[in-house]
Homo-oligomer: A and B are copies of this chain.
Amino acid sequence: MAIKLFGAVGSTATLRVKACLAEKGLEYEFVNVDMSKQEHKSPEFLSRNPFGQVPAFEDGDLKLFESRAITQYLAHTYTDKGTDLIIKDPKQMAILAVWIEVESQKFEPASSKLAWELAYKPMFGMTTDEAVVEENEKKLEQVLDVYESRLSESKYLGGESFTLTDLHHLPNIKYLMGTQTKKVFDARPHVSAWAADILSRPAWVKATTT
């Protein structure tokens, strides 16, 4: 199969790409990278991602890493398949690009630290650092206050339709909804409705169950 995704089942970054592949309705081969055996630090895998992180991606002879570069490649290359995850109009695309950056620069740092402390650490029998949780919940609240305002004017973050910027949020939101941080989303009605909407998309359900 031309498209191969090298990843780990519980990895948020791997899920980000799986979500995109599912939205575009693309067939691919999933290659499990066994992180418990340090496979992500093997020379073979480092040749795919020099940072030794999942996922890595292959489409024919094109090799990529960084989940948001992979999703952008898929969204721009397979524009005629499945859900349209970008916007053709250049001005609307520019606005979409703003909110893609917002996820990257504002939502990801706070939410990924919270997912690590509250979801992953317990899985590995490690102790949650409550100070880190408190600090990052405060940061996340500031971000979600901006989202609450944005989503009161716009159906989705990037505009009137579901796009890459909403998709990029899915993995971290999924994990945080199973933790105390859920309250931060619930307290903001537009954010809460948007989160419920995107988490219920058939492609996301498919990506998280197969």
Contact = CB atoms under 8 A, between A and B. Distances in A.
Contacts of A68: 101, 104-105
Interface residues of A, number: 29
Interface in A120-147: 146
Contact of A98 (B65, B76, B90): B65
This protein's copies in its complex: 2
A51 interface: yes
Given A97-B73, A150-B50, A109 B106 contact: no
Contact of A66 (B73, B91, B105): B105
Given A76-B90, A94-B73, A66 B109 contact: no
A26 interface: no
Interface of A: 50-51, 62, 64-66, 68-69, 72-73, 76-77, 90-91, 94-95, 97-98, 100-102, 104-106, 108-109, 146, 149-150
